[in-house]
Each structure stands twice: as C-alpha cells, then as structure tokens.
Amino acid sequence: MKIIVSGASGFVGSTLVAGLRRHGHEVATLVRRAPADPTELRWDPAAGELDPAALAGADAVVNLNGRSISSGRWTPNIKDELRSSRLDSTRTLVRAMAGADPAPPLLVNASATGFYGDRGDEPLDESSPPGRGFLAELCREWEAAALEATTGGARVVLLRLGMVLGSGGGALERMLTPFKLGVGGPIGSGRQFWPWIAIDDVVGAVEHLLGRGDVEGPVNLVAPGEATSRGFARALGEHLDRPAVMPAPAFAVRLGLGEMADALLLASSRVRPAVLETSGYRFRAPALADAFHTIIG
C-alpha cells in the first residue's frame, strides 16, 4: 500500500514507518521543515497548509501529530498547544484529503484511551461513552475532526492508544531508571487500571486495520492483559529482579506534575481491545511479561 504518515518523527511514528517499510509498504512522511529526500512531503499544519496533490493516489493517511501530552505541566498555554496541534493537523489533513484526486480512501487517526477518563473498575470498550476532563474532551474533539473525513467517503479509524511501551521513548523508558535502582513502585493507591500496549502491537494493529475494510470508528489499541499501577510495578520489578514496593503518593505526584498527574497516572481506565479481538487481531505481547521480555530483554 501507498501510505502517508504524519508525526513520523515521533516515538510511535518512527517505529511505525520503519515497520511498514519493512513489510513492503511505500511510505511517504509529512514534515514541518524542508524535505530531506523524495519520501518527505512538506506541510504546515498550524497554518492549515498541505497541497492536496501530495495525498493523491495514497491508499491511506496515518495521522500521529500532536505536541507531547506528557512533556510538561499543563499550563493554559500548553493546553492550547496540546489541543491546537492535534485539531489543526487533523483538519488540515481532512481538507487536503477531500481535495485530492483520487482521494485517499482511509484515514487512520491517533486518539487515546484518555477518551474514557477516570472510570474506576468499569469495563470499557469502544461503545462506552466519553469521560470527563481536559484529556477526554480533547480526544472527543480530535476524533470528531477526524470523522469529518467520512463526509468525503473515506473510512476513518480512530486509534484509542493506551500507554505505548517501547524502547527509545515513551512512558516505560522514563520508568526504567527508578525501577532499575530499586526505588520504583505503584503510584497513588496503585488500584487504578493503566491501559497499555507494546509498540510492536501498535505496528501490528495498524497493519491489521489497514487491511480490514469492514472496521471503522474507534479501536482501542490496548493489550488484553490488563494491569493496575500496582500490577505494573510488580511485573516490572519481577522482570528486572528488583524490589518495586516504593509507593509514589498521589499528593507528591500531583505536586510535581499538576493536573497531568490526575489524567495520566492517577486515573483508572479499564479498557478492553474489543474491536481488535473480534476482528481477529493476534497480539504479539498480550501480557506485560511478553512486552518487557521483548523491549527490555
């Protein structure tokens, strides 16, 4: 397939592009700087600029753009940027898709399990309603912007990504140092469910969804092996053969990270990969132990 990827320089994007190319797909990337070679196409999502001709004839567009959610405290300015970087990119792509001839028939757009918000032990699948709070509202708006592409006849798949585990970036990389030093442990009560997925399964699931013309709308990209913060700490400690019982109290995490702590670390979302399972996707890392084995070794 001929696939255009945005946000390709990021943690998920760089692994996805490499995986798609390895499996024989022709991938071009959208870049916000001068292109370095013919596989790169220039766009300016903040200004809404993308030549529709760049997308003409592509089989799919994969949109991963957005300022990092976890790289700094959510000040009002940062919140504006988190929102605009996602909405501007998505709207620019949807508009260009509508103007392309022939138009790409598929948009695969990133979203997050943050859509569901803080829901305790409630089992959540793709049919569950959105939660409350900044992140849930942002995901809802982001998904609505992507779904505009259906008006032009495209199939739209919304990737509700859980915490992506891989090397070279993401949450696991940040957790590894304290856990290796034996000072890792559960966060807050430790009872909150953390939806997660190994990066290999992000690549595998996207490839699966590219080929499943009957699947559209939200798809939870989370592993079936659910984990609470406490279970996650235990599994990581066991894998590294280190104690992992040092709790990080909720107040301390809030003090350090502000509102982001509640949305990303203290919230509980017990999310099932219902669409991936019913559409026959076979997980490469269904349980945390599998993911740690592949990623950490």
Ligand X SMILES: NC(=O)c1ccc[n+]([C@@H]2O[C@H](COP(=O)([O-])OP(=O)(O)OC[C@H]3O[C@@H](n4cnc5c(N)ncnc54)[C@H](OP(=O)(O)O)[C@@H]3O)[C@@H](O)[C@H]2O)c1
Note the residues at the interface with ligand X (CB under 6 A). Answer: 7-13, 31-32, 45, 64-69, 81, 85, 89, 110, 112, 161, 163-164, 169-171
For the CB of residue 63, give the shortest distance to ligand X in the complex, in Å.
8
Report in angstroms how near the CB of residue 229 gets to ligand X at its nearest.
Answer: 15
- Partners of 187 in the beta sheet? 248
Nearer to ligand X, 29 or 228 (CB): 29
150 φψ region: left (φ > 0), alpha (ψ -120 to 50), beta (else): alpha
For ligand X, the closer of residues 101 and 116 by Cβ is 116
Q: Which is nearer to ligand X, 12 or 257 (CB)?
A: 12
How many CB atoms neighbour CB 255 within 10 A?
10
Q: What is the smallest separation between the CB atom of 43 and ligand X, expressed in angstroms?
A: 8
Please say which residue, 85 or 245, places its beta carbon nearer to ligand X: 85
Nearest to 161 by CA among 204, 125, 110: 110
Please give the structure tokens belonging to residue 1.
């397939």
Of the candidates 94, 105, 116, which has an alpha carbon nearest to the alpha carbon of residue 211? 105
Read off the DSSP letter of residue 104.
P
Give the nearest residue (CB) to ligand X: 10
Nearer to ligand X, 41 or 215 (CB): 41
How many other C-beta atoms are found inside a 10 Å radius of the C-beta of residue 37?
A: 6
Give min distance, CB of 146 to ligand X, in A: 11
DSSP tally for the chain: helices H, then strands E: 10, 11
CB of 139 to ligand X, least distance (A): 9
